[in-house]
Chain A
Amino acid sequence: MATTDDAELSRSLTAAVRAVEGVTGVFPSQPLLEAAADALAVRLDLREPDEMVDIDRSDRFTTVTAHISTSASLPAPETVRRVGELIRDTLLATGAKPDELAVNVSIRLVEDTGLRTLAPLVAGD
């Protein structure tokens, strides 16, 4: 369970990650409870939309997890590296030690953003 400070940190990380070039969205980083009644899961927004980056602290070890979608107009590895480095640098700046920190970033979707990035279409027949 995140402290108030971590909630604040999560909000600012979520906003910062969203602003990274090539990032098109930030997702909840924990799966929805399958057990929740179907109707409830549909109706209730189970989480704060502004706190999508998960911060977990246990035994002085900090794990930060972010799930994102990226734009196909940029290579996904570049985008995800930028996000990972941003999160790492932010955490180090708040006093985390490099050997007590893990940053997990997953791309859950690579989406077209209006640009055609692949080879031209097959010529019509």
Chain B
Amino acid sequence: MTSDDSALPGDAAPDDDLDGHTMDELSDYLDRGRTPYDASIENSAACRLALTGMTRLQELSWAGMTKQSRLDPHRDDAWISGLLDTIKAEVQSGRDVPLSHPDATLRLALTEAAVRGMIRRAGDTMDGVIMGRCQLDGDVTTPGAPVRVDVSASIRFGMGVDRVADELRERVASALRRHTELVVDGIDVTIDDIYLEDGHGHD
């Protein structure tokens, strides 16, 4: 998207107008990020024009596809809901985290996935917090065995890291006390990213 006056000649230069270079060469050169610097290409107006055209074409291909995909916001609802029905039935449950009962006939448990889910929710329901990694370290399958929780989160720009980490830790602990019988040895919170109010842009 450079200067508009750098238009190609109307007949899209055949190779022999490219000061001895071919379109294929130029395409490869472009793919390499125009390195190593090739003076005979960069000093040729025809080559520069062709490169500009190719770059523009790449941009337009991507832009056209993006625009097309946004034409009808509800166009994708059907296949997405079909997808979700399937994957939700297929969550990898992980280990079983037992819940006690005096009657040995009953074997009651939370799946590890359920525990991780509640930990994430404990953080996601905090304003300005988006949870990331979530791990349970230790033998969660043995009642009474000490367990450590390891979570990461990104927080909104301007929030106090220590204060958020403390509150997050407390909320995770409270959820685990309420819904599990895990003996929690410690909750490690890593704030690994700061995001701006409106942007998931960094992809």
Contacts and interface: CB of A to CB of B under 8 A. Distances in A.
Interface stretch (A1-9, A11-19, A100-108): A100-108
B41 interface: no
A75 B178 contact: yes
B90 A88 contact: no
Interface in B106-143: 106-111, 113-114, 117-118, 121-122, 125-129
Given A118-B174, A119-B170, A42 B82 contact: yes
Interface in B79-97: 82-83, 86, 89-91, 93, 96
Interface of B is mostly: mixed
Contacts, number: 117
Minimum-distance CB pairs A-B, first 5 = A76-B179, A84-B106, A107-B110, A110-B118, A104-B107
B105 A109 contact: no
Interface residues of A, number: 38
A119 B171 contact: yes
B82 A125 contact: no
Interface of B: 82-83, 86, 89-91, 93, 96, 99-101, 103, 105-111, 113-114, 117-118, 121-122, 125-129, 158-160, 163-164, 167, 170-171, 174-175, 178-181
A31 B92 CA distance: 9
B46 to A, nearest CB: 49
B121 A72 contact: yes
Contact of B86 (A41, A109, A112): A41
B125 A102 contact: no
Given A107-B111, A108-B113, A32 B179 contact: no
A84 B111 CA distance: 16
Nearest to A119: B171
Given A85-B106, A122-B167, A106 B90 contact: no
29 contacts: A32-B89, A42-B83, A43-B82, A72-B118, A81-B99, A84-B108, A98-B105, A103-B106, A103-B107, A104-B107, A104-B108, A105-B106, A105-B109, A108-B93, A109-B91, A109-B113, A109-B117, A110-B118, A116-B125, A117-B178, A118-B171, A118-B175, A119-B174, A121-B125, A121-B127, A122-B128, A122-B129, A122-B167, A125-B159
